[in-house]
Structure 1
């Protein structure tokens, strides 16, 4: 109940500034004692929060102003909210709130909050303040969110560079050069979220297996913080440090961190493979086929294939394109599931289809490390199970064909 209450208060604060902030900010002149800071928040327990968060804090002791500009919010009242979210068309927005409310929200979630004060002259602070407040105008505050290329972290980096163009800001990113792909980078945060990791590897295609440049690492708040700590800005003809090292505003209680679940997708999928193997051996001994098993396997993988296809072609999500999971989650498996459940001899086209399925499964397994997409290891036992059942079904059809001319003959398939 407390969590729901503080979330409600936090949203009310955002709404207040959304309605009143424009009038408050317009034409406001920061005092010489004002400060603008990068705020970095640590990972949360939920999947949407596991990668951390970035925001911009503006303090001015002269007026008592202490606010946070946050590019990571959206409006639940947006028409067709869930459809737009699924299609990648949901608009995120720049919001503003009291920093105290923002901090309270993160302390209640037990997430560390760090601050890096930007080393700006009074003129530079005023210029960046002008950028933020102009961005906050109703006609400018909305944008189409992209997790890897346009999010709460990249908006801050890009906004600062837009305020000070012509290489006035330089990022020294040599320490980032570790040959990480985008998938490698997000995998750094996913050990506590094995089911989230599984879902991400299902939905996101080979697009995120390209090597990220050190500059692109800064889509993650932690790397944005490191990038700012090593960056410089032009002042009076000289490059000076943009920020210092992060200073803790609140540190999480590590004793309250959740434990990684013991029951993981990898364990589940290997259990499924063991069961499928045992049933196949039992079927082989009795010269029969468990139609319910085959129907279930092909139905589920066929349904997943339809989801993969829709995410690739029916949405604006860049990261869901080129999904090689379609090699085992094949949409046509849905049709095959219906035919394979029948107690009749397999038609010739279905035998060919199942042979191709078994061959593709074998190629997937043999070339596992070299495919252009990094597959989740939990997919391996599923691929083996599908290939095994496809090959066995064709073998049994050839070995013990079922007569279909009379119902008096005992059916073996």
Structure 2
């Protein structure tokens, strides 16, 4: 019975013709505290008081209850969908539970364009169309709305003609929303490969909801001034994170450097360090080669950390001559990888510094 009612509502909405009072509104939700909400959210709201239509469409919806959720998320095969709610529900949820601000911008569209957008949204909402492969940089809640508007009002909103949104890479835009001294930030940057370093055009930078809102606002005469529905709670300014990677990895590197200088770094510590770094490198390599996350491909962090450190450290440790030759090669690769990673996001250097200290020592200093 519920399924029948659902299909009936979709059918009615899909065939509805909007009145002259109808509005298409871009609603931008501020970033949240959780990682999945850290970059904000975009909603396209169709409001027609004459016909009683109040539908707020969101792309990028997922369900934590999906079978094998974490495995599918890791592999890049987690199904994402379009969902629809009333604007009042969206407002209540973000205000009461998420505490995330919302701004609204009415788009200046003619009746044909408004109706075309509604029909496309409802078509996307059909069971056979609603699921899609989410891509953080290329196909998310913001890019889908950008493309929806461009498809049905071609050339009206010139997303690309916005110089304030040019000059940064996908990675750089992402990092503006993340704290530099954060394990999450370091992990995300280590996982991203060369594709994340491509300089995004102004249109491509609209993968971030705030940028889409900014680009829309600068389309003179094509959208009303943004109206704040409510403001986010003021964030408490955090001081230096003494448990973040800056201090922790810095201290680890100093300890390793001191013990190396005193020739007091034990054999078992070398095996442990090389094995741990090797395992992390295998995980990075796996993300770039065995998943659907194409932005993680061709990752220079694999050179810096080098997957073969494990298990070869165990085998080579029994053969000093072969071990010394192997170390020289890996030291050069690690150096190249560190320079490459540092140019992308300098804190990544901290992840490679401990192993680089030992590589230099074992390769060129200690015999």
* CA shift for structure 1 position 392: 3.0
Alignment partner, residue 141 of structure 2:
152
Distance change >3 Å, CA 17–CA 104, structure 1 → 2:
farther
Residues 26, 106 of structure 2: 8 Å contact kept: yes
Which digits, 9 at most, give the CA deviation of each residue in 1:82-114, with x for residues without a partner? Answer: 332211122211100122221122112221100
Distance change >3 Å, CA 65–CA 257, structure 1 → 2:
farther
**1:40 and 2:28 equivalent?**
yes
Residues 18, 96 of structure 1: 8 Å contact kept: no
* CA shift for structure 1 position 209: 0.9
* CA shift for structure 1 position 68: 0.9
Residues 17, 96 of structure 1: 8 Å contact kept: no
* CA shift for structure 1 position 205: 0.8
Residues 358, 388 of structure 1: 8 Å contact kept: no
- 2:329 match: secondary structure: helix
Q: Could you tell me which of 287, 300, 307 is aligned with 2:276? A: 300
Alignment partner, residue 321 of structure 1:
297
Alignment partner, residue 322 of structure 2:
349
C-alpha distance in 2 between matches for 1:53 and 1:226: 13
* CA shift for structure 1 position 225: 0.6
Alignment partner, residue 205 of structure 1:
193
Aligned-pair Cα RMSD in Å: 2.7
**1:274 and 2:247 equivalent?**
no
Aligned length: 364
* CA shift for structure 1 position 121: 2.5
C-alpha distance in 2 between matches for 1:217 and 1:279: 46
Residues 31, 37 of structure 2: 8 Å contact kept: yes
Alignment of 1:86-125 (within 5 A): 86-107=74-95, 108-125=97-114
C-alpha distance in 1 between matches for 2:112 and 2:363: 76
**1:387 and 2:356 equivalent?**
yes
Residues 166, 201 of structure 2: 8 Å contact kept: no
Distance change >3 Å, CA 16–CA 45, structure 1 → 2:
farther
**Which runs of 5 or more structure 1 residues have no equivalent in the other structure?**
1-14, 233-240, 399-413
Residues 301, 341 of structure 2: 8 Å contact kept: no
Q: Could you tell me which of 229, 233, 236 is aligned with 1:249? A: 229
Residues 193, 296 of structure 2: 8 Å contact kept: yes
- 2:15 match: secondary structure: coil
Alignment of 1:131-146 (within 5 A): 131-146=120-135
* CA shift for structure 1 position 394: 4.8
- Farther off after superposition, 133-142 or 202-211: 133-142
* CA shift for structure 1 position 335: 1.3
Distance change >3 Å, CA 276–CA 16, structure 1 → 2:
farther
* CA shift for structure 1 position 350: 1.1
Residues 128, 160 of structure 1: 8 Å contact kept: yes
* CA shift for structure 1 position 152: 0.4
- 2:46 match: secondary structure: strand
- 2:202 match: secondary structure: coil
- 2:305 match: secondary structure: coil
C-alpha distance in 1 between matches for 2:124 and 2:206: 21
What TM-score do you get using the length of structure 2 for normalisation?
0.89
- Farther off after superposition, 350-359 or 255-264: 255-264
**1:82 and 2:70 equivalent?**
yes
C-alpha distance in 2 between matches for 1:262 and 1:82: 29
What TM-score do you get using the length of structure 1 for normalisation?
0.80
**1:263 and 2:243 equivalent?**
yes
Which digits, 9 at most, give the CA deviation of each residue in 1:347-378, with x for residues without a partner? Answer: 3211111122233334455xx2xx38744433
**Which runs of 5 or more structure 2 residues have no equivalent in the other structure?**
none
